[in-house]
A = this chain, B = another copy of it.
Amino acid sequence: MWAGDQLSFVASVVRGVARLSQTLPDGRTRVVGLLMSSDFLGRPGREVLGCDVTAISDLTLCCFRREPFESLRAEIPHLTDRLLDLALDEMDAARDWILLLGRKTAREKIASLLAICAWRAGTTSYSAQGKPVWQPTTGPLTIDLVLSREMMADYLGLTIETTSRQISALKTLGVIALEGNRRVIVPDLRRLLAETGDDIGLMGHQQRQV
């Protein structure tokens, strides 16, 4: 979509999912971030983004041209505060991810990803401050995976085959059920969380002690 180009705009994701990725010269590619609704795209104060952005679903962006945005930022200092806040959140997510990539097994990685998506699915409402609110659910939970197996694999640093195998394994264990290829049903969230390798399960996404 855009590759290291100068971005003439910044944007906020309204709906859909986009992926941030980088590529090694030998062709290996890594997803280094996922942008979902309310996430911010662009580098305030910077010219260039530094990685590729690809839409992986229908995507609605709220765009601002760069120069007006920068001058607006000069006028309203509080805007920068908010951007800093977003950047720090991103940083937390990135650190959780680093933890995941470095020290988790394939099974735990898959479970963690599903748990994060379950959390996203369960986060349907927002508080007055714009912070997502977790809706605790006891019953079964349905996740609409927007990601293909390949993208999950890239996301987790695995191969497609291993990804598929671990999903099958979780299905056999009864931790999840599949409905088509990209819809996952979680009968008991706790069982899924138990597979993630950290007892918090959502790795701080749920109630991070930031």
Contacts and interface: CB of A to CB of B under 8 A. Distances in A.
A162 B95 CA distance: 23
> Interface size for chain A: under 10, 10 to 19, 20 to 34, or 35 or more residues?
35 or more
Chain A binding surface, main DSSP class: mixed
B103 A28 contact: yes
Interface in A184-210: 197-199, 204, 208-210
A32 B99 contact: yes
A95 B28 CA distance: 15
A107 interface: no
A62 interface: no
A210 B5 CA distance: 10
A63 interface: no
Given A50-B208, A50-B210, 6 more contacts: A46-B88, A46-B210, A47-B210, A94-B98, A98-B98, A102-B157
Interface of A: 4, 20, 22, 24-26, 28-30, 32-33, 43-48, 50-51, 77, 80-81, 83-85, 87-88, 90-92, 94-99, 101-103, 154, 156-157, 197-199, 204, 208-210
